[in-house]
Amino acid sequence: MISMIWLSHNPHNHFDTFLERKTMKNKFNVLFAVFLGLSSILITEVHFFFLKEQSPHVVLEELFYIPLLLGAFRFGFKGGLMTYLFVSLCYLPFFFGQWSATFLDLADRVLHVLFSGVFALTAGFLSDRQKSMQKQLEKENYLAGLGQAAASIVHDLKNPLIGILGFAKRLQEGKGDVQHAANAILQSGLCMQKIVTDVLDFSRSTQLDMKEEDLVSVLLRASEVCKEKAAQEGVVVTAETPTSPVPFRMNADHFQRALVNLMDNAIDASSKGQQVQISLQVDRGPVVIQIMDQGQGMSSETMENIFVPFFTKKAGGTGLGMPIAKKTMDTHGGQIHLSSQPGQGTEVTIQFEQN
């Protein structure tokens, strides 16, 4: 997954998270090792009890394979070996005295120890190999995602950069209209700034500073930001909201940018004269934000990949708008649902539980 390749702006957060996970993993491993030891001892005790009762004990011997298997799967070859040594130590008393009164009894126990050792070491070896293959696959996926992300960013930055260099060279040579060249350079710079902002937003930590804000005001501000672009495209944007404030715990800046991304997509999908309808519904149930357009709709392929980073069907798009919006809404406890048919428009529904 490409989203896994981006680092937070605060490396200390990632380092702290890594240490916490490592500590939790170590604690779990210790508890698991204790469980293996106690289960081996318990099986031995049960085995002793039934032997005293002269009951069949073949099944009880097979129970030792349970900690052997678990130890090998959890800790690999070394874990399988250590578990095998401990289980053999627990099984050692059965070699002496009344427990191995005949040659057949002794042979049975020796074969059991040998076979359990082969089983434990083989299972541990296979477990290590599987983990190694999994790590290699993850590394390859990571590198492939990194390459795809880098190529996508470079591709998006290349076109405006070519424009800047081209017009700057013309200005240097004294050719062309200065005002036109300056405006083209400015627009290319703004395009590059948007690409960089999108990448930074996408890579930012999901830990945001939250405080209670008026959801109505944030939604209306987002719609006002988009209305200028909509007017240039001949698209009408309408917003239907409650008349009274709706308190909602959020990071207003990030929330508004996510809404702008969603509204921009609706405007881009719309043709001249069409409408983009925005609504906020607050009943006793969940808080629901809807963004509906009458545009070209989305194909099944687009629907499946809409939240995949760098996937885009728009010329000049970074493919990060929808992933950023989803990430932001997830952080605020919301869920995004899409409904779309080619030629019939798209409906985006964001649902939050009351907070």
Looking at this protein, which amino acid is placed at residue 38?
L
Domain boundary at 141, 173, 190, which?
141
Q: Which domain holds residue 63?
A: 2-141
Average pLDDT over residues 249-263: 89
Domain boundary at 92, 117, 141, which?
141
**CATH code, domain carrying 348:** 3.30.565.10
Average pLDDT over residues 185-210: 75
Average pLDDT over residues 3-13: 41
174 three-state secondary structure: coil
Six-digit token string for 123? 């299972």
Helices 103-172 and 178-203: crossing angle in degrees, nearest 10, is 160
At 210-230, the pLDDT tens digits run 899 999 999 999 999 888 888
Closest by Cα among 221, 289, 295, 303 to 265: 295
Continuous H helices in the chain = 11-52, 58-62, 65-91, 103-172, 178-203, 215-233, 252-268, 300-305, 321-331
Do 215 and 306 lie in a common domain?
Answer: yes
Closest by Cα among 299, 313, 235, 226 to 270: 235
Q: Does residue 197 sit within a domain? A: no
Domain boundary at 122, 141, 160, which?
141
Closest by Cα among 162, 284, 293, 161 to 236: 293
- Centre a 10 Å sphere on the Cβ of residue 170 and count the other Cβ atoms it contains: 16
- Centre a 10 Å sphere on the Cβ of residue 192 and count the other Cβ atoms it contains: 17
Rounded to 5°, angle at Cα 193 from 188 and 196: 130
R_g of the chain, CA atoms, integer Å: 32
Looking at this protein, which amino acid is placed at residue 23?
T
Beta bridge partners of 158: none
Residue 290, pLDDT score: 94
* Average predicted confidence (pLDDT) for the chain: 80
Q: Does residue 157 sit within a domain? A: no
- CA 304 to chain CA centroid, Å, is 16
Do 340 and 262 lie in a common domain?
Answer: yes
pLDDT tier at 355 (50, 70, 90 boundaries)? Answer: low
Q: Which residues contact 41 (CB under 8 A, 6 or more apart)?
A: 90
Residue 275, pLDDT score: 92
Do 217 and 338 lie in a common domain?
Answer: yes
Average pLDDT over residues 290-306: 86
Average pLDDT over residues 250-275: 89
Most confident among 53-67, 147-161, 201-215 (mean pLDDT)? 201-215
Do 226 and 126 lie in a common domain?
Answer: no
Q: Please check whether residue 8 is in contact with residue 327, taking contact to mean a CB–CB distance below 8 angstroms.
A: no
Q: Which residues contact 87 (CB under 8 A, 6 or more apart)?
A: 40, 64, 67, 68, 116, 120
State the residue for tokens 């057949």. 104
